[in-house]
Structures are given as C-alpha cells and as structure tokens.
Amino acid sequence: MSAFLKLAWRNVWRNTRRSVLTIIAVAFGLALCIYTYAIAVGYHNQMIRDAIGVFAGHIQVHARGWDDNQTLEYLIEEPDKTIATVPVGDKRIVGLAPRVVTPGLVSRKLVAKGGGEDTSKEENTQFIMIVGADPAAELKITILADKIRRGKFISNDDPTGIIIGEDLAESLGVDVGDRVLLWTQDYYESLQAQFFFVRGIYRAGAFDLDGGYAIAPLATIQRFLNLDDMLTTVTVRLSDPQHLEDVSGEIDSALNPKVYEVLTWEEVMPELRQYVVFDDIGAYVFLAILIIVVAFGILNTQLMAVFERIKEFGTMLALGARPSQVAFTVFAECFFMTGVGVLIGNVLGFIAAYINTKVPINLSSEADLLAVFGIDPKMYAAITWPNFVICSGIIMGLALLMSLWPAMKAARFRPVEALRYV
Amino acid sequence: MGTFVRIAWRNMWRNPRRSGLVVAAMAVGLWGLIFSLGFMDGMSRQMIDNTVDSHMGHLQVHNADYQARVKGFNMFHYQLDKYISDPGPVEQAIDASEYVVAWSPRIITTGLATNAQKAAGVAIVGIDPKRESEVTNIARSLVNGRYIEPASENTIFIGEALAKKLGIDVGSKIVLMAQDIHRDKAMAAFRVVGTYKTVSSTFDKSFVYISIGAAQKMLGMAELVNEFVILVDDPSKKLEVAKASVAQKLDKTKYSVMTWREIWPLLVRIVEMSNIFTYVFFILIFIAMAFGIANAVLMAVFERIREFGIMKALGAKPSQVFLLVAIESICLGIVGVATGILIGWATVYYFGRQGVNLAVFSAVLEQMGLGSVIYTSTNVSFFIWGGLIALVTAFLSSLWPASKAAKLVPVDAIRHV
C-alpha cells in the first residue's frame, strides 16, 4: 500500500510544470471561494447586527395583529404585566425598551426671527413612523445614540425634543433646533398635531430609519396620543443571538397567545433574512461555476497523466498489480495534487480574508445605494471555520470524483495491449 | 496563414477528449456569465419598468423650483406648493412634440387615509383618469370594482393592500386628510369604487387615486397642477431627444423637464453596479479557467516537440510556430464560446419567457419594487462581452506554451524522444 502511495506522490512531480499549473488553479479557485465566503458572511453579519443593534432588537412583543397593521388598534394594554414576563435579571438579556410606534406625518414649520411663523418659506410634509422611546432604556439596548451626527439624543428633560434621520432632515429642509409639526390619529381616532424641536440628527445606514422615523421621549408621545401608559412594542436585546429561540419561547409561553405576539428579528424583518439567503444563493451559483471550471482542469490533467503512461500501467499490471491497486495509484495521485493545491489555497484564502478583517473593503462612494439594503459601506470579512472546511471539502470531493474516470481507465487496461502501446 | 489555421484546427481534434474538456470548461464559465448577467439585468430592468410603468413615466414636467429628484428610495416627497400655475401652454408644448405618445397631469401630495377605525399614510394622487390610464398601468391593474371616472368628485381608487390594511372593501367610505395649499387642514370623504394590485404591495399600500378635479377642490388648487407625466416613443433611444423637444418650447426659469434617469438616479446606478460586480466575478472565474487552458495547450505542445522541430527545420519562422499554437488555443476558445453562447442564449431565452419563480423571497424582492418572478434579459452586449472575455482568456493562456514552442531549437527538438 505504502509503495503505491509513494508511486503516486512521485508521479505528481514527474511533470512539474503540468502539476504546478493544476495546483495553482486549485489554489486560486479555493482561495477565491474562501475569500468570497468570508466577505459574504462578514457583511451579512454586519447587516444583521446593525439592524438589530440600531433599532429592531432581537425580540419584539406586540399585541397580536400589530405587526401586520401597525395601528393603535393593537396596543399592549397592561405594559407592567407584559414587561414582567421578560426575565430582565437574566444574563442572556441585555435589557428591554418600551416603545410606541405609529404612522403619522411630519411637516416643517419654520420660525421667523421675529418669533412669528415664517410664511415666506414653503412647507414640506412627509409620511413617517412616529416613535415614543424611553431614552435611558434605548441607551442601554440600542446604538442609535452613537449614530447621532449633529445635536444630541432624546432626553426626558426635554419632552418636546425629537431626533430624526439625516435623509428626513434633508428632505424636510430642517436642522438641529428647527421646529416641526407631527400629526397623526390618537387613541380615540381624532387628529392630533403637536410641535416638536429637532434636537438631534442621526445616520443609521438604513433607508427606512434614516428617511422615515421621528423619535421622541415615550411619555410625550403617550400623552400626545392619549395612550396613558399603553405601548405598541416591547423590544428585547439579547447578549448573544444564540439564546434567541430560548428567550422568545419563554416569553411566548408566559403570555396569552390570543392577546400577544412575540416576534424574533427574523419575523420582524423577513426581508433581511431573505436578503441574506438570496445573496448566499447568488454566491453559491458563482462558486459552483468556479469549482466546476477548476474541476474540469483537474480532470483534464489526470486524464493526460493516465494516457501518457499506458505502457507503465501495462507493466504494473503484468508484474502482478491488481486493477484496484492501479486505480488506487491514480486516485492517490489526484488526491496529492489537489491536496497541495488545497493547502496553498487555504493559506492564501486565510491571508486575504484576514487582511479584510482588519482593513475593510471601502465602498463609501456607493453608500446611499447600499443603505437601501442596510449594508455598511465598510465591508469586513468574517473568518469562520466552516468556511475553510466546506470549501476545501467540496473541491477535494469533486477532485476525487473527477479522478474516478481516469482511475477506472487505468485499471481496465489489458496488460498485453498496454505493453505494446506506442 | 490559411494553412496555419487549418493545421491548428486539425491539431485541436487530435486529442478530442482533452480539447472537449477545455471547451466544456469554457462553455460552463461563459454560460454562467451569460445567465448571471441576464438574471441581474432582468431584475434591475424589471425594477425600473415597474416604477416607470406604475408611476414615473419617461419624462416629468414640474415647476422649476420643484425638487423632483428622488433621494435614496424615498419616493414620498412631494411639494404641493411648487405648482404649475398656467398648465395650458405646457400642455400645448407637450402636445407639439412628435416624440410624445401620451401625457397626464397630476396633483400629488402626502396625507392620511382613515376609515372609522384605522389610518394609513398615503400619497394622494389627483389624476385625469383617461389620460392617466394611457400613461401608467394603474387602471389596467384593477382587481375589484371599477376605475374612477373623470367627472367624479368623491370616488377613490386604492390598492388592494391598503384596503386590506384598513379593513375596507369596494363601496366603503374613507376620509383623506392633508394640508392644502394654504397650509390648512383639508379633509374630504370618498367612496372606494375599485382596488388595484401592482407587483409591489408597498406601492399598493401608499398610492390612492382621485380625480384631479376632486384633488384641486380639496387642496384649494383651482386649475393648478403639480406635474405632467409623459410617455415617449422608443425611450431607450429617444429619451434625451424627446426631453429636449419638450424643454425647448418651455421657459427654463419657470419649468423643469426631467427624464426618469434624472428623477431617480439610484435606479440607474443599481443596474450599473450589479453589472460591474457580475463582470468582476466572472473575470475571476476566467482567470481560474486560464490555468486549465494553459495546461492543455502546454501538453499539446510538449507531446509534439518533434513536429515543431521538423516544421522549423523545414523553414517555419518562430513567429509562425508561435502563431500556430496561439491559433490552436483561439480555435478552442471559439468552439467554447460558440457552445457557451448557444446554451447561455437558450437558458436566458427560456427563463426570459417562463421567468424564474422566487416566491420564497417575496419580502426582499418587494422591498426592491419587484414581483416574485424574475425574467432574464437577453441583451446582445452580454453575449459579445462574454465571448470576448473568453477569447481573450484563451489567447492569453496560450502565450506561455506558444513562446515555449517558438523557442525550440530544431536540432534538439527533432531528436527529442
């Protein structure tokens, strides 16, 4: 057995040029697979982390029906009892934030220097989601406060202060300190309007948050909408996403399913999960084509290696080697050759991906385009072990599959004819 | 030269198995490129077509102060107070252009739609029902009831998704609230006469249609309009000419004429970006393929060392030997490209008709303004570029083997065993 292995290894290096070319192709293809995969995992994780971290949280509790309708018809009527079902002291949970979210309109109201309304400037109305949020709780569970570009975060000391996204500020033509009018239907379905002052402008990197949200202190919004202490949403942030199923299950079982819905981020943002899968499929198609192209190269090399050695196989068989041993030799040769390529490919892929974990791919010039999908224009790679194992495994497996044909050919030569082959 | 091509072509078939594998690798790579480009391009085209067909049209005319350019994906940004105060001459200017197929005036603003229980933020569009039906596909997207009629002052046509969201049906009454031209709260009641459904439920939840007369009355706009939407004959070629022909008859200081590309530049960039990414990916695949081709050609050279020696001894110049090997590689390339283009074309043609059903991804597709079936596009430029990339790859990968063959010393080569 070991003699055949030795034979196979030596065969690899009989035609150095050919083997090296094949090894380069395998290494290049594999490195490309590993690198692409690392970038995809990296920016998908980033997307999900950002979407959860900036606003959505891991788990959201609503009154049943809120997520489909998003109106004040679906309210958490007993907020204290609902919040009590979330095991806040638990290590798995970072914290929770009570919120009121409802659709409304915002218009700009400029105040002239004299104090009266500036009637010379036009007015601008936008459709938005109005959010009432508890500043302290939000600071604990979201990173929205870090995303403030100008001004400051909302505070309970400033009940009429709101923060809005940069895109909304721009399309309204307002800046920090300006007055805007929010209007919407309240709990009793009557139209309410109230002035707020823009205290902060944020850039979350997601087009809906940046262009369609206005966030004010919870108590103000509850008063504005005549909600008392009722909420639309309780958002929970976990310390580690692996507890998602456990914690959401625990909260779910503590609440009456007829009255409440407990949703994970995947249910709150189905488009995000789907985007990741959709994008992954695109990457798989690309990688599959790449691997097939590389595999054809391996097959070609191995076939050539067999056909230029027909006499040799004849001699081996004439000397008493069994067909299975001849096949094994060819098989092992392919294994060694691909193996060297796989080793080099892993090293190259790792180096390329590692560099990108420190230095991001910078697509800042396309930031507005990427924000549509909530993609951070600075893309970092993520190095995960399955990446190396799966990519290497597929290329190795395919190479061995490809070597079956040449191996069978070699095993089926008839010694007498093969020896006479010119 | 002709002789060399013939020799190269015959050499290629001396080892059909080897050549066949190289051709197969090229065909698979090229097929992947053509399909990916066709898919990505089909997707972005549908995104554009859906937007153009349902709302944007090819050209729009506004008051010169109106900010028509869409920021990011926020379509809901309207300025009611930037109106066209004298629509008559504008209509004449549009009608006078030979490139215009149809046009429609609109009043458009944001507001709330409410019934007794629920409210939703909507874009209120006042239209001339007949003209609008010639410009956009909203009338054709009818699902229930009927489309609105011109003279009607209290009928409204809404998306099915909005009807569902508000829990109402054809025949129900809803109230629209918005700020009028004087910035006062304006309210008017309407009866839902029909519902429509486009590919995007976001769109269907947002746009409600009333007659332009009703909108003018509700918002205090008298005879004013906000915009004219225009369809152009053969927009892929004549968009800019049509724009110029409308614009030259209008006072630039009072009116602006914009193409859909200018109104929503992001859509154009999405198409460009996705094509660039696809090309970059496939150039990488072709680099991987180049090693395989180089290998096969190199083998073909090394098993024929004696032959090259004899050619040279008979007087062939090194450059001719070089050319012979290069042509052989390009012949491989041509067969690979022909095969790749053929199966690539068959695939994109088939999926261009049947569509790729991606209903499982409906949420993300909808966010991009797409339906759940993607039709691949058969753009000739993809075949040309893909074929060129493959041929260049074949040529470049023959350089090393060809120079090896060219450098052979005749005496040694003839004696080579």
Q: Do both A136 and A41 map to the same domain?
A: no
Task: Specify if A317 maps to a domain.
Answer: yes
The pLDDT assigned to A190 comes to: 85
Q: Residue B72 corresponds to which tokens in the numbers above?
A: 């990011």
Burial A163-192 (b: 16+ CB within 10 A, else e): bbbbbbbbbbebebebebbbbbbebeeebe
* Domain final residue pick, A231, A256, A281: A256
Mean pLDDT of B147-164: 89
**In terms of Cα–Cα distance, which of A45, A151, A140 is closest to A96?**
A140
**In terms of Cα–Cα distance, which of A253, A260, A239 is closest to A57?**
A239
Mean pLDDT of B231-258: 90
Task: Specify if A397 maps to a domain.
Answer: yes
Residue of chain A whose Cα is closest to the Cα of B303:
A308
Q: Do both A305 and A238 map to the same domain?
A: no
pLDDT bin (cut points 50, 70, 90) of residue B350 is very high
Flag if A289 and B285 touch (Cβ within 8 Å).
yes
Q: Do both A72 and A130 map to the same domain?
A: yes
Flag if A185 and B114 touch (Cβ within 8 Å).
yes
Number of domains in chain A: 2
Mean pLDDT of B319-344: 92
Burial A113-122 (b: 16+ CB within 10 A, else e): eeeeeeeeee
pLDDT per residue over B32-44, tens digit each?
A: 889 988 998 888 8
Q: Residue A264 corresponds to which tokens in the numbers above?
A: 């994970």
| Backbone φ, ψ for residue B176 (5° rounding) | -100, 135
Amino acid letter, B332: L
Q: Residue B109 corresponds to which tokens in the numbers above?
A: 């603003």
Q: What angle do CA A183, A174, A99 make, to 5 degrees?
A: 45
Q: Do both A372 and A313 map to the same domain?
A: yes
Q: Do both A237 and A323 map to the same domain?
A: no
d(CA A174, CA A254): 45
Task: Specify if A59 maps to a domain.
Answer: no
ipTM: 0.76
pLDDT per residue over B368-408, tens digit each?
A: 778 888 999 888 888 999 999 999 999 999 999 999 899 88
**Is B359's pLDDT higher than 60?**
yes
Beta strand A161-165 pairing with A191-202: parallel
The pLDDT assigned to A110 comes to: 55
B78 chain-A contacts, CB cut-off 8 A: 125
What single string gives the DSSP state of each residue in A98-163? EEEEEEEEEEEE-B-TTSSB-TTS---EEEEEEEEE-HHHHHHH--GGGGEEEE----TT-TTEEE
Flag if A289 and B79 touch (Cβ within 8 Å).
no
Q: CA of A249 to nearest chain B CA: how many angstroms apart?
A: 25
Q: Do both A208 and A292 map to the same domain?
A: no
A369 chain-B contacts, CB cut-off 8 A: 266, 269-270, 273
Flag if B22 and A300 touch (Cβ within 8 Å).
yes
A21 chain-B contacts, CB cut-off 8 A: 291, 294-295, 298
d(CA A246, CA A249): 5
What is the residue whose two structure tokens read 């691949």? B376
The DSSP call for residue B126 is E
Mean pLDDT of B189-211: 91
Q: Do both A93 and A215 map to the same domain?
A: yes
Task: Specify if A265 maps to a domain.
Answer: no
- What is the SS3 assignment for A247? helix
**Domain range spanning residue A26?**
2-51+273-420
Flag if A300 and B281 touch (Cβ within 8 Å).
no
Beta strand B185-196 pairing with B155-159: parallel
**In terms of Cα–Cα distance, which of A71, A185, A119, A171 is closest to B184?**
A119
**In terms of Cα–Cα distance, which of B275, B276, B240 is closest to B258?**
B240
Flag if B296 and A300 touch (Cβ within 8 Å).
yes
Residue of chain B whose Cα is closest to the Cα of A277:
B361
Residue of chain B whose Cα is closest to the Cα of A266:
B363
Rounded to 5, what percent of chain B is helix, strand, coil? 55, 20, 25
Q: Do both A151 and A75 map to the same domain?
A: yes
A32 chain-B contacts, CB cut-off 8 A: 284, 288
pLDDT per residue over A94-146, tens digit each?
A: 999 999 999 888 888 655 444 455 444 446 778 889 999 999 999 999 999 99
The DSSP call for residue B69 is P
Q: Do both A96 and A178 map to the same domain?
A: yes
Burial B34-62 (b: 16+ CB within 10 A, else e): bbbbbbbbbbbbbbbebbbbbbbbbbbbb
- What is the SS3 assignment for A94? strand
Number of CB atoms found within 10 A of residue A206's CB = 26
Q: Is B74 left (phi over 0), alpha (psi -120 to 50) or beta?
A: beta
Q: Is the dihedral of CA B366, B172, A102, A161 positive or negative?
A: positive
Residue of chain B whose Cα is closest to the Cα of A71:
B118
d(CA B257, CA B260): 10
A129 close to A102: Cβ distance less than 8 angstroms:
yes
**Is B267's pLDDT higher than 90?**
no
* Domain final residue pick, A200, A226, A256: A256
Task: Specify if A137 maps to a domain.
Answer: yes
**In terms of Cα–Cα distance, which of A401, A381, A400, A397 is closest to A389?**
A397
- Residue positions counted in chain A: 422
Q: Do both A282 and A238 map to the same domain?
A: no
**pLDDT under 70: residue ranges of chain A:** 1, 109-123, 422
The pLDDT assigned to A120 comes to: 42
Pick from B46-55, B110-119, B216-225: least confident: B110-119
**In terms of Cα–Cα distance, which of A308, A338, A330, A321 is closest to A405?**
A330
Task: Specify if A405 maps to a domain.
Answer: yes
The pLDDT assigned to A177 comes to: 92
**In terms of Cα–Cα distance, which of B409, B103, B412, B133 is closest to B229?**
B103
What is the residue whose two structure tokens read 């991606």? B358
- Considering only CB atoms, B291 lies closest to which of A21, A69, A270, namely A21
Report in angstroms the alpha-carbon separations of A144 from A158, A163, A382, B111: 18, 10, 24, 28
Q: Is the dihedral of CA A366, A372, A378, A380 positive or negative?
A: negative
What is the residue whose two structure tokens read 């639309």? A232
Q: What is the pTM of this model?
A: 0.80
Rounded to a whole number of angstroms, the distance between the first and last alpha carbons of chain B is 29
A183 close to A193: Cβ distance less than 8 angstroms:
yes
* Domain final residue pick, A196, A228, A256: A256
**In terms of Cα–Cα distance, which of A224, A299, A288, A236 is closest to A262?**
A236
Task: Specify if A25 maps to a domain.
Answer: yes
The pLDDT assigned to A1 comes to: 65
B230 close to B62: Cβ distance less than 8 angstroms:
no
pLDDT per residue over B112-135, tens digit each?
A: 898 877 778 899 999 999 999 999
**In terms of Cα–Cα distance, which of B328, B395, B25 is closest to A298?**
B25
Q: Do both A10 and A115 map to the same domain?
A: no
Residue of chain B whose Cα is closest to the Cα of A28:
B288
Task: Specify if A56 maps to a domain.
Answer: no
- Considering only CB atoms, B292 lies closest to which of A123, A293, A368, namely A293
pLDDT bin (cut points 50, 70, 90) of residue B74 is low
Structural element, H or E, at residue B119: strand B119-127
A105 chain-B contacts, CB cut-off 8 A: 110-112, 121
Residue of chain B whose Cα is closest to the Cα of A109:
B183
Q: Do both A332 and A284 map to the same domain?
A: yes
Mutation to test the B interface, candidates A17, A36, A125, most B Cβ within 10 Å? A125
Beta bridge partners of B114: B119, B175
d(CA A199, CA A179): 10
Structural element, H or E, at residue B187: strand B185-196
Print the SS3 string covering A15-63.
CHHHHHHHHHHHHHHHHHHHHHHHHHHHHHHHHHHHHHHHHHCCEEEEE
* Helix residue ranges, H only, A111-256: 135-141, 166-172, 207-212, 218-224, 244-254
Amino acid letter, B199: V
**In terms of Cα–Cα distance, which of B169, B132, B124, B167 is closest to B150?**
B132
d(CA B281, CA A35): 12
